[in-house]
């Protein structure tokens, strides 16, 4: 199996909505998103809600699906709350995870729309790209679409690493698309050659420049032409990568992920993390055996 492309989370921010603020906070501190948006209300600059009453601060993939597993994994890992499953044990019921998800719960209806609990990638992107949100957590594909000629935010946003708690590093969940050939294929040689083509430096360069897909070949990622077309790649160089616990959980991964994202979605919708996480941890641990 060969990797075709990788995905890594990032946080685009609109310059018009955020960077014009006179308030500043460290991009690696946990309250940076909330602090920047809260500070925005203390400045004398015109607030975006004066022209758009639906303008919001932060959007992400909050629906009860795999995307929320990726988002919540970043929240936990960047706050010292663990990586869901470690060394065969579910670790989500810990003080740091409870504190982080309590903080996240407080975003709903304040800096984030209540509807974010149903958002997937395109819902978040549409809100941000239409100028309706100051910050967005999404995958790199959103950068190329946001910079298209018909995008209202073209040239008005940048990309930064996601925030992290004090003493922790910014974290991005890695995804990726892999290509493989079935052992039952009648055209194995042709299929292998096609995969070599799709994973070649030339094709990865094209996909990076045109679609902002993150290359899996380091030499392509550092290519001056790629970095000129997608300058945000340099901002992600020091982000710590965290993988979903698929290798730890094997054939039980789908059930583990479902239990986790349903628990987080319940918290988004008002349930207490201190009650939800112990139950979810017990459920996941039973799946692990």
Between 230 and 29, whose confidence is greater?
230
DSSP annotation of 111 reads T
Q: Could you tell me if 193 and 236 lie in one domain?
A: no
Range of the domain at 221: 178-229
Q: Could you tell me if 192 and 241 lie in one domain?
A: no
- Domain assignment of residue 286, yes or no: no
Q: Could you tell me if 54 and 184 lie in one domain?
A: no
Q: 171, exposed or middle or buried, with CB in 10 Å at 0-12, 13-18, 19+?
A: buried
Q: Which residues have C-beta within 8 Å of that of residue 106, sequence separation ≥ 6?
A: none
Mean pLDDT, rounded, for 15-42: 40
Tokens of 17: 């909505």
Give the predicted TM-score (pTM) of the model. 0.83
Between 231 and 44, whose confidence is greater?
231
Q: Could you tell me if 110 and 84 lie in one domain?
A: yes
- Domain assignment of residue 284, yes or no: no
3-state DSSP assignment of residue 238 = coil
Q: Could you tell me if 165 and 100 lie in one domain?
A: yes
Cα separation, 280 vs 283, in Å, equals 5
Q: Could you tell me if 248 and 107 lie in one domain?
A: yes
How many structural domains is the chain composed of? 2
Q: Which of 30-34, 104-108, 169-173, 267-271 has the lowest mean pLDDT?
A: 30-34
């Amino acid at each position: 199996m060969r990797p075709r492309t990788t995905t890594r989370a990032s946080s685009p921010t609109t310059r018009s909505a955020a960077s014009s603020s006179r308030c500043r906070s460290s991009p690696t501190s946990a309250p940076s998103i909330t602090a920047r948006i809260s500070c925005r209300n203390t400045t004398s600059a015109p607030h975006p809600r004066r022209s758009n009453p639906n303008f919001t601060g932060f959007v992400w993939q909050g629906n009860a699906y795999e995307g929320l597993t990726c988002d919540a994994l970043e929240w936990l890992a960047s706050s010292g709350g663990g990586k869901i499953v470690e060394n065969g044990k579910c670790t989500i019921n810990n003080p740091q995870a409870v504190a982080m998800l309590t903080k996240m719960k407080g975003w709903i209806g304040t800096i984030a729309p209540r509807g974010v609990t149903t958002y997937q990638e395109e819902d978040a992107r549409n809100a941000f790209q239409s100028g309706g949100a100051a910050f967005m957590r999404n995958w790199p594909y959103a950068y190329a679409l946001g910079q298209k000629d018909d995008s209202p935010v073209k040239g008005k946003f940048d990309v930064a690493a996601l925030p992290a708690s004090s003493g922790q590093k910014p974290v991005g969940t890695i995804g990726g698309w892999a290509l493989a050939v079935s052992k039952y294929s009648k055209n194995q040689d042709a299929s292998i050659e096609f995969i070599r083509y799709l994973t070649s430096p030339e094709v990865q360069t094209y996909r990076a420049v045109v679609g902002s897909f993150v290359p899996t070949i380091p030499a392509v990622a550092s290519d001056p032409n790629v970095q000129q077309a997608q300058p945000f790649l340099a901002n992600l160089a020091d982000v710590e990568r965290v993988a979903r616990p698929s290798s730890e959980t094997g054939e039980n991964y789908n059930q583990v992920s479902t239990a986790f994202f349903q628990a987080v979605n319940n918290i988004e919708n008002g349930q207490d993390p201190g009650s939800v996480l112990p139950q979810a941890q017990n459920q996941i641990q039973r799946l692990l055996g």
